[in-house]
Amino acid sequence: MLEVTQLVKDYGALRAVDGVSFTVRPGEIVGLLGPNGAGKTTVMRCIAGILRPTAGSVLINGHDLRAEQREAKRGLAFVPEVPALYELLTVREHLRFIAMCFDRLDVFDARGDELLARYDLLEKADAFVATLSKGMKQKLAVACALIHDANVLLLDEPLIGVDPKGAHEFKAELMRRRDSGCSVLLSTHLLDTAERFCDRIIIMGRGRNLAEGTMEELRRVCDMQGATLEEVFLKLTEEPGEAAFDLSAP
Ligand code: ATP
């Protein structure tokens, strides 16, 4: 379970995130969408504990990220937009290291090679991370996120550069994780993927939450029956006069 309340992040004079609140419940995939610069990555990095929020709180499985960092991060896995990997470890060593950090060497011993095989990385298991292609690095970042059985997954454009087989495998894994009760927050510009896989969608613009709901709810607030997510997205993010839509209204 992920709970974000009134999150604010300033970069100097720029307020990049301006009071964003949302919840990702167990067994739910929530899409975090928005135009370039809307603040999605900043939100993700605050939840991952990489950036310190200016204000607001993040609870992961009920643990406050600031007050109980260790307990909060134990249940969290993050795939960043640009994978930050240890280039001088081999692929297998890298996966093992991440499992070790989360005290889950048992999972690595039982399923490490199977996970590498699933993402076509087994033949590179003894190669240095520095020698992997861009897409292979992204797949390794995904494998590292999956090795410690986190129940809150944060995925920032996880499929960029990943080939169709890897993307297919990853989407299937996301469905399995959702069905086993994980909370998944997925940031993407691939609106057809978001429409197909997300149970709810959050649309951000200029650091604020413009709208949140199921596809049906988003269509209703836009008064666009039968519209695609792309059509709804373009309407909600059109300028000027973006306004927050209240989905609690009848
Ligand atoms: P994209 O879809 O392009 O990845 P995004 O929604 O993820 O965009 P962010 O990367 O969160 O957007 O950026 C939000 C705003 O904060 C932008 O105006 C960006 O220029 C600014 N910003 C991001 N990182 C920094 C930083 N380190 N220092 C100053 N400003 C930053």
Query: Ligand 1 pocket, 11 CB below 6 A?
Result: yes
Q: Tell me, in angstroms, the distance from the centre of ligand 1 to residue 17's CA.
A: 9
Domains along the chain with CATH numbers? 1-75+151-250 (3.40.50.300), 85-149 (no CATH)
**Ligand 1 atom 27 nearest Cα:** 11
Task: Give the Cα-Cα-Cα angle 74, 77, 79 (nearest 5 degrees).
Answer: 155
237 lines ligand 1 (CB under 6 A): no
Closest CA to 92 of 131, 119, 133, 121: 121
Q: How far is the CA of 207 from the centre of ligand 1 (A)?
A: 9
CA distance 32 to 239: 19
Q: Can you give the pLDDT of all 250 residues of the chain as single tens digits?
A: 999 999 999 999 999 999 999 999 999 999 999 999 999 999 999 999 999 999 999 999 999 999 999 999 989 999 998 888 999 999 999 999 999 999 999 999 999 999 999 999 999 999 999 999 999 999 999 999 999 889 999 999 988 888 898 888 888 988 999 999 999 999 999 999 999 999 999 999 999 999 999 999 999 988 999 999 999 999 999 876 445 555 554 5
Helices (H), the chain: 40-47, 69-74, 91-101, 105-118, 134-146, 164-179, 191-197, 215-222, 229-236
Ligand 1 pocket test, pick from 32, 42, 51, 78 with the greatest ligand atom count within 8 Å of Cβ, gives: 42
Beta bridge partners of 62: none
